[in-house]
């Protein structure tokens, strides 16, 4: 069977490439892919935890003498950068390809975060400089979310896609743990003036190592195929198959009935995405929006307020970070333990149940909190259990928006839902902050906040029950037809590309 790309006069390409990717056994190639690309979530968790930990240090006269407002604005500015980066680089990832973008976005992050450490003063100019570097770093990470989720989904065989994507998203919390430990050491064992800079240099050092690993990863053959680069797609999948065979894997034959007929789509911008989301896949848009927004509200509300809750309500002084590590561990373990079930029991059942269980448990803990039946340890234990489930569900939200829309607009779809979720999360943080009065702690007000979070998470679970998509074990092209998919009657006759 010919391995060259065959096209009819109408520009239709017939290919077995998606089926060839999905039939691959797990190999060293896939492990290398996950390590090289999955670092994006570790970096984001690292950045958030470092920024939170050094906020107080920056206000000290011997460090930068920032005002409290200037220091507090660092996290918000970073978030704005993530939104900008996701939308901009998400568009480019669909236009230029996954590989180009996951090299560019990592480089943007490296430069931005590295320059943050060069902030030398507290004047208006230096504050503007620091904010600019945080926007740049955020843009890099926001772009990573769009490009990396797309690349992982398109290169991981269908039967592994759920557990791998969920586990990778969950490694955000490994970054949070690393950042918490590192800044605790840097700010206490080293001069704070130097320590906060070392905290922001951790990510760039890791990025420098990973950027060399990424250089050897191929472009997504699916992206190449959908954009008419059939010969390049064939070369990419052939290279992957050789690496799998060299590592001891056996390639099963591919049924020719799995061949895909594609006429590359000419327009794939945000106007096209709007049509796809509103006209073609509106129920799925409700699903993606519901899952992303509800989990973001919960996470931003609890994670960014847990430290002040421990301090104000439970009088924890100086060791809140250690409680935070326990909180992060629960979030990290959940996706790894529950992730495989999203491929076996199924997406719809697991996503809805993880959201519903997390919401119910948060509601129970809210009543215990309001009844003064919890202390710092038991409150943290409650959070650990709640977010064991919530973390798997939240990671599955990213998986969902990356696999239920057509190939040609996948990165942009991820970017849009990610951006909306980040904005809602920022509002949630402000909402919960307004419920906590450091001088006059009111359990009743925060109880209302916790109940609100529980109800919102339960709403996410109900949305998954009604609109969930049974994507487990299915090829991406079977979940959502590519925009350029050609009906079989219109397709060319002849051999499929590759075997």
Same domain, 196 and 65: yes
Q: How confident is the model at residue 4 (pLDDT cuts 50, 70, 90)?
A: very low
Mean pLDDT, residues 258-278 taken together: 90
Tell how far CA 81 is from the center of its chain: 15
Same domain, 150 and 224: yes
Under DSSP, the state recorded for 475 is -
pLDDT at 492 over 50: no
Cα dihedral: 347, 349, 355, 356 (round 10): 170
Return the closest-CA partner of residue 104 out of 60, 64, 158, 144. 144
Q: Helices 230-246 & 28-58, crossing angle to 10 degrees?
A: 100
Cα dihedral: 20, 162, 145, 43 (round 10): -110
Backbone angles phi, psi at 276, to 5 degrees: -60, -45
In this structure, is residue 493 part of a structural domain? Answer: no
pLDDT at 5 over 50: no
* pLDDT tens-digit readout, 331-375: 999 999 999 999 999 999 999 999 999 999 999 999 999 999 999
Q: How confident is the model at residue 10 (pLDDT cuts 50, 70, 90)?
A: low
End-to-end CA distance of the chain: 7
Same domain, 328 and 441: yes
**What was the pLDDT predicted at 477?**
95
Mean pLDDT, residues 311-316 taken together: 87
pLDDT at 412 over 60: yes
Cβ(143)–Cβ(93) below 8 Å = yes
For the chain, give the number of residues. 499
Around 258, how many Cα atoms within 13 Å sit in the side-chain half-sphere? 18
Cβ(289)–Cβ(417) below 8 Å = yes
Same domain, 256 and 375: no
Same domain, 311 and 209: no
**What was the pLDDT predicted at 239?**
96
In this structure, the strands spanning 13-15 and 260-262 are antiparallel
Mean pLDDT, residues 58-87 taken together: 84
pLDDT at 144 over 80: yes
Structural domain total, the chain: 2
Average pLDDT along the chain:
89
Tokens of 131: 């904010």
Of 215, 249, 264, at which residue does a domain stop? 264
In this structure, is residue 483 part of a structural domain? Answer: no
Same domain, 187 and 270: no
pTM of the complete model: 0.89
pLDDT at 395 over 90: yes
Same domain, 95 and 241: yes
pLDDT top residue among 211 and 497:
211
Return the closest-CA partner of residue 393 out of 449, 465, 451. 465
Cβ(45)–Cβ(257) below 8 Å = no
In this structure, is residue 252 part of a structural domain? Answer: yes
pLDDT at 2 over 70: no
Mean pLDDT, residues 19-28 taken together: 96
Return the closest-CA partner of residue 305 out of 458, 483, 446. 446
Mean pLDDT, residues 125-145 taken together: 92
Same domain, 251 and 275: no
* pLDDT tens-digit readout, 91-121: 999 999 999 999 999 999 999 999 999 988 8
- Rounded CA gap, 122 and 65, in Å? 6
In this structure, is residue 487 part of a structural domain? Answer: no
Same domain, 172 and 201: yes
In this structure, is residue 33 part of a structural domain? Answer: yes
**What was the pLDDT predicted at 489?**
43
The enclosing domain of 333 has a CATH number of 1.20.1250.20
**What was the pLDDT predicted at 318?**
66
Cβ(498)–Cβ(3) below 8 Å = yes
In this structure, is residue 497 part of a structural domain? Answer: no
pLDDT top residue among 305 and 9:
305
Cβ(177)–Cβ(329) below 8 Å = yes
What is the percentage of the chain residues whose pLDDT exceeds 90? 65
- Rounded CA gap, 73 and 78, in Å? 9
Same domain, 290 and 248: no
Of 264, 296, 314, at which residue does a domain stop? 264
- The domain in which residue 91 lies consists of 1-264
Q: What is the DSSP string of 344-393?
A: HT-HHHHHHHHHHHHHHHHHHHHHHHHTT---HHHHHHHHHHHHHHHHHH
Of 234, 264, 294, at which residue does a domain stop? 264
Cβ-proximal residues to 40 (8 Å cutoff; 6+ apart), any chain: 105, 106, 141, 144, 145, 148
In this structure, is residue 204 part of a structural domain? Answer: yes
- Rounded CA gap, 113 and 133, in Å? 6
Same domain, 284 and 334: yes
pLDDT at 464 over 90: yes
Most confident of 114-123, 205-214, 474-483: 474-483
Q: How confident is the model at residue 487 (pLDDT cuts 50, 70, 90)?
A: low
In this structure, is residue 492 part of a structural domain? Answer: no
β partners of residue 260: 15
**What was the pLDDT predicted at 7?**
46
Tokens of 420: 């909306």
Same domain, 99 and 197: yes
- Rounded CA gap, 210 and 87, in Å? 24
Tell how far CA 283 is from the center of its chain: 22
**What was the pLDDT predicted at 497?**
41
Return the closest-CA partner of residue 432 out of 421, 442, 422. 442
pLDDT at 76 over 90: no
* pLDDT tens-digit readout, 183-210: 888 888 888 888 889 999 999 999 999 9
Cβ(165)–Cβ(402) below 8 Å = yes
pLDDT at 437 over 80: yes
**What was the pLDDT predicted at 222?**
95
3-state secondary structure of 172: helix
Instruction: Of 29-38, 319-328, 371-380, 386-395, give the lowest mean pLDDT range.
Output: 319-328
* CA-derived radius of gyration, the chain: 23
Mean pLDDT, residues 282-287 taken together: 98
């Amino acid at each position: 069977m010919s391995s060259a790309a065959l096209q009819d006069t109408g520009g239709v390409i017939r290919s077995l490439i998606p089926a060839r990717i999905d039939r691959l056994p797990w190999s060293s190639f896939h492990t290398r892919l996950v390590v090289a690309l999955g670092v994006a979530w570790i970096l984001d968790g690292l950045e958030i935890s470092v920024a939170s930990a050094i906020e107080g240090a920056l206000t000290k006269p011997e460090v930068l003498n920032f005002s409290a407002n200037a220091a507090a604005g660092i996290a918000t500015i970073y978030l704005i950068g993530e939104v900008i980066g996701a939308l901009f680089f998400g568009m480019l990832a669909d236009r230029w390809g996954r590989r180009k973008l996951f090299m560019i976005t990592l480089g943007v992050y490296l430069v931005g975060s590295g320059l943050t450490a060069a902030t030398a003063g507290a004047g208006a100019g230096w504050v503007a400089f620091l904010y600019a570097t945080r926007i740049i770093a955020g843009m890099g990470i926001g772009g990573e979310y769009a490009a990396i989720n797309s690349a992982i989904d398109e290169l991981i065989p269908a039967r592994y896609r759920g557990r791998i994507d969920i586990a990778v998203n969950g490694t955000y919390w490994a970054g949070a743990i690393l950042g918490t430990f590192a800044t605790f050491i840097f700010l206490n064992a080293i001069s704070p003036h130097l320590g906060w800079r070392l905290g922001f240099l951790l990510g760039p050092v890791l990025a420098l190592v990973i950027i060399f690993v990424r250089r050897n990863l191929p472009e997504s053959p699916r992206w190449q195929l959908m954009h008419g680069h059939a010969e390049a797609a064939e070369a990419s999948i052939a290279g992957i198959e050789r690496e799998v065979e060299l590592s001891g894997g056996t390639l099963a034959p591919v049924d020719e009935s799995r061949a895909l007929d594609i006429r590359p789509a000419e327009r794939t911008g945000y106007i096209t995405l709007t049509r796809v989301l509103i006209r073609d896949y509106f129920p799925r848009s409700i699903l993606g929006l519901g899952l992303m927004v509800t989990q973001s509200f919960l996470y931003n509300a609890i994670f960014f307020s847990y430290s002040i809750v421990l301090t104000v309500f439970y009088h924890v002084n100086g060791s809140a970070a250690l409680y935070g590590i326990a909180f992060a561990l629960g979030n990290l373990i959940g996706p790894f333990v529950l992730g495989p079930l999203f491929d076996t029991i199924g997406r719809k059942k697991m996503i809805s149940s993880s959201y519903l269980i997390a919401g119910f448990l948060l509601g129970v803990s809210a009543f215990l909190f309001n009844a003064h039946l919890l202390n710092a340890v038991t409150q943290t234990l409650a959070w650990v259990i709640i977010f064991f489930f919530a973390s798997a569900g939240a990671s599955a939200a990213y998986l969902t928006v990356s696999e239920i829309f057509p190939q040609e607009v996948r990165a942009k779809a991820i970017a849009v839902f990610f951006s909306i979720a980040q904005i809602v999360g920022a509002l949630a943080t402000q909402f919960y902050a307004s419920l906590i009065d450091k001088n006059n702690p009111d359990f009743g007000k925060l109880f209302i906040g916790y109940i609100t979070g529980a109800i919102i998470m339960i709403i996410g679970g109900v949305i998954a029950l009604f609109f969930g998509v049974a994507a487990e074990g299915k090829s991406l092209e079977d979940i959502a037809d590519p925009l350029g998919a050609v009906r079989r009657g219109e397709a060319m006759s002849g051999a499929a590309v590759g075997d």
